[in-house]
C-alpha cells in the first residue's frame, strides 16, 4: 500500500479545503474573535513563513506560553507543518523550572501571551537559546518591554505569506510537539510527540466508542493547550472541521457556562476541579446547557457524586477518562458496553466512575510481584501501557530508564481491572501501603474518610511497622467547627473495609500539603508525619 506519512499537514489542509466556513470562536483579552478555517489556514501559513524568516528550520523547537485561543491554535499547526517542533510550556511552572525546560528543549523562538509576558521578562537573561520573542495580542505593535527582539504576532502574520507551502519533507516519526511533565522530585521531564502519534490519537478520539468527535461538534477544551495538547482536541477538531470554542485566559465557571450557552458547546474537556466549579455555577444560574452531549473529565478521579449531579440534575452526560502527558494523552474512557445499558442506575454509575476501558489502538496490562494481575476488579498492580501514541523515552533524560522498560510505559499508577476490562486507579505505586505482603490503597481509604460529613479533606500515608513493614496512617482535616475523635473515624470506616485495612492511627492536621495543580503532595506529608512521630 502507499507509503503516505501520517502528518499534521494533512489535518490543517483538510480543514482549509473542506470546512472553510466553519469557525473558531476565541475569547482573548480583547474580546470574542471569530475566524473561519479559511482565514485560519491563511494565518497559519503566514505564521509558518514568518517563523521561517526568523530562522526556524526543520527540527527546531518553538515554545508557546499561552492560554487557549485562536493564535495558539494557529501555532499548533504552523510550527509542526513547517517541520519544527511545537513546545507547549506550562504557564504555571515555577520560575526555576521554566528556565530549565526552555533551555533543555533549546527553544529558538518563544510565542508569549501579552498578559504572561512579565513571567518571561523575569527570566529572559537566562534563555541563551531563544533568538526571538513574539508577543500574542490583538495589537500589531509590541508593548514596552525589556525583551529584545520582541515581535508582534499580528504584525508577523499580516506581513507573512498566506500562501506558504507547508513542508513536504516530514516523516511520520518526526517530532511534531513536546510537553514537559512535572516530576514528583527533580526537574520536569520532556515528552516528544510524533506526527504519527498525534494523527493516530486524533483518529482514536473520533472513534464511535471513544469521544466520537465529529464535524458537527462544538468543542470547548477547558484543559489548557499548554498541557498534553489540550487532550488532542485542537488537532482532531481542526481535522474534522468541528467548531472550536477557545475560552482564553482566566476563565471562571461563569465564563464557561456563558460560552456553553452562547455557542451551543457539545463537548468540553477538563479536570474535576473545573467541573466542580461549573456545577456550582450551573446550580446558581439559569443556563441552557442542552447542547452539551458530553463532559470529558480526566487528570484526576471524578467523585461519583459529581458524575451523578451532572447527569441527574443537569442532564449532561459525563465521561470519565484517563491519560498522562506521556500518552498524548487518551488511554482509557469509561463508557458502558451495549449490554450494560440496562443495568440498575447505581451499577451503571459504578462502572462509569472507574477510569474505563483502554481505547482501540493501545494495549494495557497491570503487574505486581506475582506477574500479570487477574481481571477480577480486586487484585492490584501497576498499570503498563503500550501503543503508537505512547512516548518511549523522556527527551534527553536519564530518568527514561525508570519508566520505559521492555516496550512498556510503567505508569506508576496502581489499578484494578475488572472482568469487563475496566480499569480503576487505586493509588500511585509510591503511595501504596504494603502491609504484610498485601497492598492497601491509600486512595480508597481517603475517599471513604472524605465521604464523612464532618471531614474537609484526608490523606493516607504509610508509616513503618516492625512486623507488617508498613501500616496506614490517616491525616484528617476537619471542616470548620466540626469535632470528631479518632474512634469516630475508625467506626465510620469499619463497615466498609477489612479489619487489616483500617488505619493504625489518625492524625488531625490543619491542611494537606498540595502540588501546584492541587494534587496531594504525599512526599511532604510523609515527611511531616515522620517528624511528628519521630521515626
Q: What does the alpha-carbon distance between residue 402 and residue 406 come to, in Å, rounded to a whole number?
A: 11
Residues 6+ away with beta carbon under 8 Å from 531: none
CB of 5 to its own copies, least distance (A): 9
Burial of 379 per CB tally in 10 Å (0-12, 13-18, 19+): middle
Give me 328's grid cell. Answer: 498524548
What length does the chain have?
A: 535
Interface residue with its own copies, options 386, 434, 486, 523 (CB under 8 A): 386
Is residue 229 part of the contact set for its own copies (CB under 8 A)?
no
Residue with cell 484494578: 416
Selected binder of its own copies within 112, 204, 220, 460 (CB under 8 A): 204
The nearest distance, CB 211 to its own copies, in angstroms, is 9
Concatenated DSSP letters for 409-450? Answer: EEEEEEEEE-TT--EEEEEEGGG-EEETTEEE-HHHHHHHHH
The residue range among 145-153, 253-261, 308-316, 389-397 that interacts with its own copies, by the rule CB under 8 A, is 389-397
| 357 near its own copies, judged by CB under 8 A | yes
Joined together, the cell numbers standing for residue 332 give 482509557
**Cβ within 8 Å of residue 98, ≥6 positions away:** 89, 119, 123
Which of 75, 200, 295, 459 is the binder for its own copies (CB under 8 A)?
200
Do residues 299 and 332 touch, judged by C-beta distance below 8 A? no
Question: Helix or strand or coil: residue 157?
Answer: helix
The CA-atom distances, in angstroms, between 202 and each of 48, 229, 314, 329, 389 are 22, 11, 29, 11, 10
Q: How far is CA 66 from the centre of its chain?
A: 15
Shortest reach from residue 510's CB to its own copies, in Å: 44
- Residues in region 362-381 near its own copies by CB under 8 A: 363
Q: Which of 231, 389, 408, 439 is catalytic?
A: 439
Please report where in the chains the cell 530518568 appears, as a residue.
399
* Binding status of residue 171 toward its own copies by CB under 8 A: no
Stretch near its own copies under the rule CB under 8 A, chosen from 251-259, 354-362, 427-435, 466-474: 354-362
Residue 208 or 535 having the CB closest to its own copies: 208
- Please count the other Cβ atoms lying within 10 Å of the Cβ belonging to residue 41: 22
392 binds its own copies (CB under 8 A): yes
The yes-or-no answer on residue 439 being catalytic is yes
When the beta carbons of 358 and 448 are compared against its own copies, the nearer one is 358
Catalytic residue of the set 38, 434, 486, 514: 434
Contact assessment for residue 438 and residue 500, using Cβ atoms and an 8 Å cutoff: yes
Count interface residues toward its own copies (CB under 8 A).
Answer: 52
240-259: which residues touch its own copies (CB under 8 A)? 240-241
**To the nearest whole angstrom, how small is the minimum distance from the Cβ of residue 209 to its own copies?**
5
Query: Cα(497)–Cα(492) distance, rounded to whole angstroms?
Result: 10
Q: Which is nearer to its own copies, 150 or 409 (CB)?
A: 409
124: contact with its own copies by CB under 8 A = no
Which residue is it, cell 518526526? 174
Q: Which is nearer to its own copies, 4 or 483 (CB)?
A: 4
Write down the least CB distance from residue 180 to its own copies, Å: 16
CA distances from 305 to 88, 264, 266, 309, 520 (A): 33, 25, 22, 6, 20
**Which x/- pattern, by CB under 8 A, does the window 417-446 give for its own copies?**
---xx-------------------------
Catalytic-role residue among 172, 326, 382, 446: 326
DSSP structure string for 360-379: TTEEEEEEETTEEPPSSSS-
207 scored as a contact of its own copies (CB under 8 A):
yes
Q: Is 80 in the site for its own copies (CB under 8 A)?
A: no
Is 181 an annotated catalytic residue?
Answer: yes
- Of the candidate spans 187-195, 222-230, 269-277, 517-525, the one that interacts with its own copies by CB under 8 A turns out to be 187-195
158, 165, 184, 216: which one binds its own copies (CB under 8 A): 216
Grid coordinates standing for 277? 466549579
Cis peptide before 14 (omega within 30 of 0): no
The smaller minimum CB distance to its own copies, of residues 30 and 421, is found at: 421
Residue ranges binding its own copies (CB under 8 A) = 1-4, 6, 10, 14, 17-19, 21-22, 173, 192-194, 196-197, 200, 203-204, 206-209, 212-216, 239-241, 328, 337-339, 357, 360-361, 363, 386-392, 407, 409, 420-421
Known catalytic residues are 181, 326, 434, 439
Amino acid at each position: 500500500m502507499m507509503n503516505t506519512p501520517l502528518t499534521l499537514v494533512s489535518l490543517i489542509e483538510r480543514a482549509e479545503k473542506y470546512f472553510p466556513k466553519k469557525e473558531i470562536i476565541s475569547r482573548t483579552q480583547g474580546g470574542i474573535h471569530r475566524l473561519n478555517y479559511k482565514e485560519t489556514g491563511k494565518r497559519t501559513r503566514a505564521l509558518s513563513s514568518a517563523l521561517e524568516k526568523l530562522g526556524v528550520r526543520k527540527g527546531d523547537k518553538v515554545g508557546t506560553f499561552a492560554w487557549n485561543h485562536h493564535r495558539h491554535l494557529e501555532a499548533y499547526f504552523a510550527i509542526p507543518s513547517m517541520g519544527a517542533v511545537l513546545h507547549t510550556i506550562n504557564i504555571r511552572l515555577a520560575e526555576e523550572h521554566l528556565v530549565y525546560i526552555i533551555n533543555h528543549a533549546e527553544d529558538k523562538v518563544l510565542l508569549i501571551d501579552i498578559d504572561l509576558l512579565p513571567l518571561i521578562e523575569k527570566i529572559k537573561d537566562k534563555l541563551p537559546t531563544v533568538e526571538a520573542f513574539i508577543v500574542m495580542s490583538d495589537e500589531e505593535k509590541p508593548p514596552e518591554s525589556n525583551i529584545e527582539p520582541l515581535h508582534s504576532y499580528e504584525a508577523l502574520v499580516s506581513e507573512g505569506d498566506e500562501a506558504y507551502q507547508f513542508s513536504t519533507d516530514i516523516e511520520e516519526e518526526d517530532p511534531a510537539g513536546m510537553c514537559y511533565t512535572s516530576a514528583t522530585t527533580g526537574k520536569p521531564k520532556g515528552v516528544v510527540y510524533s506526527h504519527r502519534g498525534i494523527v493516530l490519537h486524533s483518529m482514536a478520539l473520533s472513534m464511535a466508542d471513544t469521544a466520537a468527535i465529529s464535524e458537527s461538534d462544538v468543542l470547548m477544551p477547558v484543559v489548557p493547550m499548554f498541557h498534553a495538547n489540550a487532550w488532542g482536541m485542537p488537532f482532531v477538531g481542526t481535522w474534522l472541521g468541528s467548531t472550536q470554542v477557545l475560552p482564553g485566559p482566566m476563565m471562571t465557571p461563569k465564563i464557561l457556562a456563558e460560552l456553553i450557552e452562547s455557542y451551543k458547546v457539545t463537548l468540553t474537556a477538563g479536570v474535576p476541579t473545573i467541573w466542580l466549579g461549573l456545577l456550582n455555577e450551573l446550580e446558581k444560574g439559569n443556563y441552557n446547557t442542552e447542547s452539551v452531549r458530553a463532559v470529558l473529565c480526566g487528570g484526576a478521579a471524578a467523585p461519583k457524586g459529581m458524575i451523578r449531579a451532572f447527569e441527574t440534575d443537569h442532564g449532561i452526560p459525563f465521561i470519565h477518562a484517563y491519560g498522562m502527558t506521556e500518552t498524548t494523552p487518551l488511554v482509557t474512557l469509561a463508557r458502558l458496553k451495549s449490554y450494560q445499558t440496562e443495568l440498575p442506575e447505581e451499577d451503571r454509575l459504578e462502572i462509569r466512575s472507574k477510569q474505563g476501558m483502554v481505547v482501540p489502538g493501545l494495549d494495557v496490562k497491570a503487574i505486581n510481584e506475582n506477574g500479570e494481575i487477574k481481571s477480577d476488579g480486586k487484585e492490584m498492580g501497576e498499570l503498563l501501557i503500550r501503543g503508537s501514541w505512547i512516548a518511549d523515552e523522556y527527551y534527553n533524560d536519564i530518568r527514561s530508564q525508570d519508566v520505559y522498560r521492555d516496550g512498556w510505559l510503567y505508569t506508576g499508577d496502581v489499578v484494578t481491572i475488572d472482568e469487563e476490562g475496566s480499569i480503576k486507579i487505586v493509588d500511585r505505586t509510591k503511595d501504596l501501603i504494603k502491609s504484610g505482603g498485601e497492598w492497601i490503597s491509600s486512595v480508597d481509604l481517603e475517599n471513604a474518610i472524605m465521604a464523612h460529613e464532618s471531614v474537609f479533606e484526608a490523606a493516607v500515608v504509610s508509616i513503618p511497622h516492625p512486623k507488617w513493614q508498613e501500616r496506614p496512617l490517616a491525616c484528617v482535616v476537619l471542616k470548620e467547627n466540626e469535632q470528631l475523635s479518632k474512634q469516630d473515624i475508625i467506626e465510620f470506616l469499619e463497615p466498609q473495609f477489612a479489619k487489616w485495612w483500617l488505619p493504625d492511627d489518625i492524625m488531625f492536621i490543619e491542611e494537606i500539603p498540595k502540588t501546584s495543580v492541587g494534587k496531594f503532595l504525599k512526599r511532604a506529608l510523609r515527611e511531616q508525619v515522620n517528624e511528628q512521630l519521630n521515626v
